[in-house]
A and B are shown apart, each in its own frame.
Chain A
Amino acid sequence: MQILVLVSTLLVLSLIGYYLGRSRAVASVSGEASRLHSLPGYYGLYVALWCGVPALIVLLAWLSLEPWIVERLLVASLPESARSLPSDRLALLLNDIRNLAGGNIVSRDVDPELRDAANHYANMRQIGTWAEIVVCLALAVAGIALGQRYIAPDLRARNKVEKVVMAFLVISSTIAILTTIGIVFSLLFEAIRFFRLVPPSEFLFGLEWSPQTALRADQVGSSGSFGAVPLFAGTMLISFIAMCVAVPVGLFAAIYMAEYAHPRFRAAVKPVLEILAGVPTVVYGFFAALTVAPFFRDSGGFLGLDISSESALAAGVVMGIMIIPFVSSLSDDIITAVPQSLREGSSGLGATRSETIKTVVLPAALPGIVGGVLLAVSRAIGETMIVVMAAGLSANLTANPLEAVTTVTVQIVTLLVGDQEFDSAKTLAAFALGLVLFCVTLCLNIVALRVVQKYREQYE
């Protein structure tokens, strides 16, 4: 709460700094703004940045360091007997002190010593907060004063402000990249822990998936097996079915829209098709589990086929429907990007429209279309909700699309849902699966982007 007030005060101060800086800049050339190096607004921004940025940086640093410093001081103030406790017991004690100071429930009887420590802690926090507020506001005011002093007609305010803006942009992109790297590393470390328990060869080549870990040695079914091949086979099967639906339908839709459709029809239908991409996958899951799967089961029975009510076919078909807009939208963009001059050249030679499409437009667009399809495949492999709801959980190693299969993503969900301990092979397996999945989709994406890029260079 205090932080919020502090931040808004800093913003108000920056605003004041903006107006002060602006008017000072105008005053410094006695009203002839054209004699200034930059527009007056840049001088205002310059002062506002001087006011806000250092104060906010200090505030951030303070917020991240304060708890650690206060804890150090608190430990130092505790009696010798408490300080010599093992680290986990000490952490428990510190937690209690914090809870007591914060007015929460405490896990032990409150003795005067604890109460003293809690008071001390509360005091330190209080002092810390006030010091923080004072320091930040002082910095902000000092920043305004300093910025004001620098203002002169030949100050290159615009260039300086632009430099700061660029720094913001760099920081933002760094955050995005670092987050990705962080995710990869957390996956990697947990996966390594898993591979200490289960050898990678067994995980990657084992044919049986039954992720159990025994609580007691004599438990029934205590022997778990972590062979991921059935999962990958299931993933591939479902993705394959999905692509069999999505690629022809999506591609033909794209060809129609890009080459034949009336522009007005295209303008109306393309957004509608893209809405299909906006339907939450859970909804597709309902559709798969409640409509498509029973339909396949019943019509299979009619034909004398034995289709289980949770089949790879149902999940794959619905996933394919989900991916259609992906394929069609990407292919449509790529087909429209084929230069008109090629089409004219072809029809100028007496080719019909469909000959032109078959022999000139599609070959020219093919690399791009392949890239788009690969992106769609990586989407299919990573898709979870539809398969959870429609494909089932049994890890069958089968190529029969009429049976229930399971996929990598489904298993990750089931391994991590509910109360779990995070040091058994069962839960750690989820991270190993995630890592493999990540590697596969990463490779697909890299290949796809390469292909698309290469295609782009062709016409530029």
Chain B
Amino acid sequence: MQLANSENAAKDGVGMPEKTGNLTTESKAGRTPMVVARDVDVFYGDKQALFGIDMDILPNEVTALIGPSGCGKSTFLRCLNRMNDVIEGCRVEGRISVDGQDIFDRALDVVHLRARVGMVFQKPNPFPKSVFDNVAYGPKIHGLSSSKDELEEIVMTSLEKAGLIEEVKDRLHQPGTGLSGGQQQRLCIARAIAIQPEVILMDEPCSALDPIATAKIEELIDELRENYTIVIVTHNMQQAARVSQRTAFFHLGKLLEFGDTDQIFTNPSVERTRDYITGRFG
């Protein structure tokens, strides 16, 4: 992974903390964006997967990334907490900042970044540990609690926020893998919010779930918006329309349209977006 961005930033003469002010021309109502991406290119080996993506993600909003398979929306999502680092031959260029901090800064520990930008994956992936230990995992490795009681409190609050507490309070010490698919996914969300991130990334969190479990997760996402900034990748148009405030439409590695969800779904300005949303292609 090449960290070309820091040099670029220096060359452009744009200091990272101040820069966010410059870059928020798009943002509405004067709110400072939580995540700012500028001119992001991603390459897998020789193949370019993303072309010059610019995006401002506002705090306490749900931003949905939609687009046909292979359009780069998951790749973009994974850039935001540098999960692409581990992929062989993957190279990211451009600038991304989270809460004013350049995430490609050499001084930044990627571990701290990921503690601030949590992630929920497509397939529920609870660790083969107890429900309690699954949620306690993050707080333990980051030393967020000084006592056992405190840890317990964090776990309970997280489970409560994830709307799971009623269902698991009697089986906290049974394996998390024994829960149903929807419960597992909410457990993963509880696990992510236990480390008190600022941003939560969700990569098609409902694609492996049935409609009832999906409805619960969507409800949860809407509640979580109050405290967190959420970016969600989804293939489900209705889901994007239901949960998100802003929607970004990706096609062939380019960001074709980005704006208010209402506007994108009722009156898209780009022909391709209209075609995709109405199901004419993709």
Contacts and interface: CB of A to CB of B under 8 A. Distances in A.
A212 interface: no
Contacts of B127: 342, 345-346, 360, 363-364
Interface in A249-263: 263
A348 B177 contact: no
Contacts of B81: 348
Nearest to A339: B125
B114 interface: yes
A350 B129 contact: no
A347 B125 contact: no
A180 interface: no
Interface string B76-92: 00000101001010000
Interface string B100-122: 00000000000111110011010
Contacts of A348: 81, 83, 114, 118-119, 121, 192
A364 B126 CA distance: 11
Report whether over half of chain A's contact residues are helix, strand or loop; otherwise say mixed.
helix
B86 A458 contact: no
Interface stretch (B18-26, B29-37, B63-71, B135-143): B135-143
Interface in A342-389: 342, 344-352, 355, 359-360, 363-364
A344 B119 CA distance: 9
B195 A349 contact: yes
B114 A350 contact: yes
Residue among A342, A349, A355, A360 with max Cβ neighbours from chain B (10 Å): A349
A343 to B, nearest CB: 8
A458 B192 CA distance: 23
A341 interface: yes
Contacts of B282: none
A349 B118 contact: yes
Interface string B174-217: 00010000000000100110010000000000000000000000
Contacts of B15: none
Which of B83, B111, B191, B195 counts the most A-chain CB atoms under 10 A from its CB?
B111
A347 B177 contact: no
A350 B195 contact: yes
Interface string A195-226: 00000000000000000000000000000000
A360 B113 CA distance: 20
Interface string A330-344: 000000000101101
A355 B81 CA distance: 18
A344 B191 contact: no
Contacts of B121: 341, 344-345, 348
B17 interface: no
Interface in B128-148: 128-129, 137-138, 141-142
Contact of A350 (B86, B128, B142): B142
A347 B114 contact: yes
Contacts of A351: 111, 137-138, 141
A351 B140 CA distance: 10
A350 B125 contact: no
Interface of B: 81, 83, 86, 88, 111-115, 118-119, 121, 123, 125-129, 137-138, 141-142, 177, 188, 191-192, 195
26 contacts: A263-B88, A339-B125, A342-B127, A342-B128, A344-B119, A344-B121, A344-B125, A345-B191, A346-B127, A346-B137, A347-B83, A348-B81, A348-B119, A348-B121, A348-B192, A349-B114, A349-B192, A350-B112, A350-B115, A350-B138, A351-B138, A352-B111, A355-B141, A359-B137, A360-B137, A363-B128
The 8 closest A-B pairs by CB, nearest first: A350-B115, A348-B119, A341-B125, A350-B114, A345-B125, A349-B138, A350-B111, A364-B128
Interface of A: 263, 339, 341-342, 344-352, 355, 359-360, 363-364, 458
Given A345-B121, A345-B126, A350-B114, 6 more contacts: A341-B123, A348-B119, A349-B195, A350-B111, A359-B137, A363-B129
